[in-house]
Amino acid sequence: MSFHLLVILTEILSIITSQSTVVVVVVVVVTIFMFIHPSDAGTMFGNNNNHNHTNDDDTSLSTLCSQSIINHPCRCENGKIICDGEYEFNLNGQFERLNRNVNHHHHHHDHGDGIVFDEFILNNTEISQLTDDLFGDRIKFKSIKLIDCLSLRRIAANTFRKSGSFIEQFIVQGESSLGEDQYASDLFDSLNSMVNVEKIWLNRNRLRSIPTVAFGKKSGFVKLKELNFNKFSSKNGYIKSVGNFAFYYLNQLQYVYLSHQRINYLPANAFDFEQTSNQTLYIYLGNNKLNNTSFEKGIFLNSKRPIHLELYWNPELTYLDEDVFAPFLQLSPLNRISLQDNPLVCDCNSYWIIRDRHKFVNQILNVMCKIGPKQTFNIDLISFDKCIKNGRKRNKLIVVN
């Protein structure tokens, strides 16, 4: 732009013949320069020293980190803020200083959104709570990881109020005390502010239940695909129950990990959803306290999507109730049940699986029958000759050689 202006001005000056015309041109020149960007003006006058910050986000983050306003035990590197250690410190103070610095030096970079970091990692054994508006007005994160925060008991309801829409994943790894009864409501309220999150992990928490309409009290959560409550733990969690409509607004959900808990009952509407989807939902319920009466009649019938159930390691689940699971399988040929590592007691309560195997052969997977404390056989080797329509209570088993 500055080059073209110089050409135009040169041509104008070349045809000036009177002093009055010069005065007019000077006025025009002054007016034009009022609208020239400072960087253009510097170039026009041969000045290449540009003291303005670049608009590139990575450069802005690098500059912010290099100013050393984050104190030990926190550090700022590669677009991340990392805080670790084994003693409690003023986490709020770290973000207060960071916000002041952004307000003073970097306000022209954020366009009203603030500075967006890639990740915040807290690996600290003594921090006990995250307070309301922890990150302030100007600091945002795409990812939040809380690792081995042994003393962390509370995430306040409004911790992510001003930054929740930027969070794409929220990960809790290792031990924590999150989800204790007095703070469970706050935890779910804080999660509900993450309306664009794609992944939530709450490994090894202290939750005892997942409440009714736990997520998305109003339609939001348009991107959440993975919800994990204890996926990678060998130690069972504390969840005993799941409320009706717990995941109702999570219409894009693909994976729910509820394994390694203490769940012993699931109500009919626990896995109902607001909208229809063609995407299979994988529900992991392995290693719980599920038994033959744990599933309320009608469960999964209003899920509005194909369901794949994983029911491994539930030793008290000795048969699949026909009144519960036959309607579920009939609802869609894409519905699946896997019984890997969960052999059944194949008495007459399981006869329907053999009777209707031409319907469900591809839907009930890994069905084994246990006879005695250690022996297992494929269900196809079990004779159900004694099982008749009115005699389901008869439990005689015959192994066919």
> What is the per-residue pLDDT across 222-238, written as a single tens digit (0 to 9) for each?
899 999 998 666 789 99
| SS3 at position 83 | strand
Q: Is the predicted pLDDT of residue 289 greater than 50, yes or no? A: yes
Q: Which residues of 280-293 are buried (b: 16+ CB within 10 A; e: fewer)?
A: ebbbbbbbbbbeee
Give this prediction's pTM.
Answer: 0.81
Q: What confidence tens digit (pLDDT) does each residue in 246-270 have?
A: 999 999 999 999 999 999 999 999 9
Alpha helices in 34-183 (DSSP H): 38-44, 57-66, 91-105
Q: Taking Cα atoms as reference points, which of 137, 128, 181 lies closest to residue 161? A: 137
Q: Is the predicted pLDDT of residue 60 greater than 70, yes or no? A: no
Name the CA dihedral angle for 367, 293, 202, 227, rounded to a multiple of 10 degrees.
60
Q: Taking Cα atoms as reference points, which of 171, 177, 106, 168 lies closest to residue 137? A: 106
Biggest CA-to-CA distance, the chain: 120
Q: Is the predicted pLDDT of residue 326 greater than 90, yes or no? A: yes
- Whether residue 231 contacts residue 256, with contact meaning beta carbons closer than 8 Å, is answered with no
Place of tokens 């990740």: 119
| SS3 at position 330 | helix
Mean pLDDT of 140-144: 97
Mean pLDDT of 286-308: 98
Region of poorest pLDDT, from 3-7, 308-312, 319-323, 366-370: 3-7
Domains of the chain: 2-44 (no CATH), 57-399 (3.80.10.10)
Q: Order of strands, edge to edge, in the sheet holding 115-124? A: 74-77, 80-85, 115-124, 139-147, 169-173, 199-202, 226-228, 255-257, 281-284, 307-310, 336-338, 364-365
Region of poorest pLDDT, from 98-102, 132-136, 219-223: 219-223
Confidence class for position 205, pLDDT limits 50, 70, 90: very high
- Whether residue 274 contacts residue 249, with contact meaning beta carbons closer than 8 Å, is answered with yes
Name the CA dihedral angle for 138, 134, 79, 118, rounded to a multiple of 10 degrees.
-90
Place of tokens 């960071």: 98
| E runs forming strands in 148-304 | 154-155, 169-173, 199-202, 209-210, 226-228, 241-242, 255-257, 281-284
